Structures are given as C-alpha cells and as structure tokens.
A and B are shown apart, each in its own frame.
Chain A
Amino acid sequence: MITNDALTSYIRKTMSDAAVSVTDRTGTMDHFSIKVVSDHFKGKNLLDRHRMVYQALDEPMKDGRIHALEIKAETADGS
C-alpha cells in the first residue's frame, strides 16, 4: 500500500515539474492509474515515457507497495 502523495513525491524526485494525478483503481491502495504530465517527456516515444515513470517508481514497485500500474504520460501541451 502506498499513498497518492508518496507516489507523487517519487515521481517528482526525477521529474520536478510533473503534474501527477493518481486514481486508486481497486480501493486497496496498490492498483493505480497514474497520469503524469511533464516536459521531461518531450521528444520521447510512449515506451520511453513509461520507462521513465517505472524508473521513478522502481522502489515501491520492487517492494510490492505498487502491485499494478496503468500509466498515462504526456507533455504539458498534451502531445
């Protein structure tokens, strides 16, 4: 289990400009949908954007606090 704030701070550690919205998909605080908006994604394809999010959340993914994660990763201008 992990809180939305903790998730957001993990993301912001590597993407300081990130706007993060988190939805707990099952109410168990370990199945999340997360939308990250950051200009760090500029020029990166979808796979690499998701890799960046996974790297930022590597620790809570590895220790099981996050069980399942759906990711949306966009730049500020929505591209």
Chain B
Amino acid sequence: MSNPIEEEVQREIKTNKILIYGKGTKQMPMCGFTRETMQFFDKYGFPYELIDVLQNPAKREFLTKMTNWPTLPKVFIDGQFYGDTDILDPMAAKGEIEPLLKKAFGK
C-alpha cells in the first residue's frame, strides 16, 4: 500500500518545475528563508510554486526523510532536490542556475 503523502509529494514535484516546500504562503511567508528563496527565484522570472507544510507535520517528516535534509525550505527543480539557498547561491555564483531553469522549462 503506497503512502498517500508520498504520492502527493511525487505529484507535486512532477507538476511544479520549481517547487518550494516552506512555511507560509506566497502572500504571507512565515519565515525569512522561505521569503529569501522566493526572492532568489524572482530574479530569474520563471514561475514557481510555494507549498506550505507548516501545519502538516506528517508531510514535513516525510520530506525530511525523503531528502535527508532536516530544514525548511526544501527546493525541487524539475523533480530534483536542491536543498535551499545555501546550495542555490553558490550554484548561481558559478552560473549553473540559469541553464538548469532553461532546461526545466524547455527553453
């Protein structure tokens, strides 16, 4: 019996090219790092989705185990896990983000 939370997460990371699991909503991010991650992607102009897992401990726990990453936000690009801006910033500094996003959006 596969886990409904797992199915939900698999569907979410497939349908959203850029997906941020974080705290709060786009209008009302509840954590500095979530806001910082949105601002990071705002620079590139590609659409992204923020899914609030603040009130969903079971889903948060699942995501932590799945990614072996204890904190939020958790970023997925094109279905692949990339941690958070601690990982994305050094990648951007090496010019790795732009091509990654273009590929994800088939540009």
Q: Which residues of A contact B (CB under 8 A)?
A: 46-47, 50-51, 54, 58, 61, 68-72
Minimum C-beta distance from B52 to chain A (A): 18
- B residues less than 8 Å from A47 (CB atoms): 69, 81-83, 87
A-B contact count (CB 8 A): 28
- B residues less than 8 Å from A58 (CB atoms): 70
Residues A51 and B68 in contact, CB atoms below 8 Å apart: yes
Q: Which residues of B contact A (CB under 8 A)?
A: 32-33, 68-71, 81-83, 86-87, 90-91
- A residues less than 8 Å from B83 (CB atoms): 46-47, 50
- A residues less than 8 Å from B86 (CB atoms): 46, 50, 70-72
Residues A68 and B70 in contact, CB atoms below 8 Å apart: no
Residues B69 and A54 in contact, CB atoms below 8 Å apart: yes
* Contact pick for A61, options B32, B33, B70, CB 8 Å: B70
* Nearest B residue to A45, CB-CB: B87
A50 and B87 in contact, given A58-B70, A69-B71 (Cβ under 8 angstroms)? yes
- A residues less than 8 Å from B71 (CB atoms): 54, 61, 69
- B residues less than 8 Å from A54 (CB atoms): 69-71
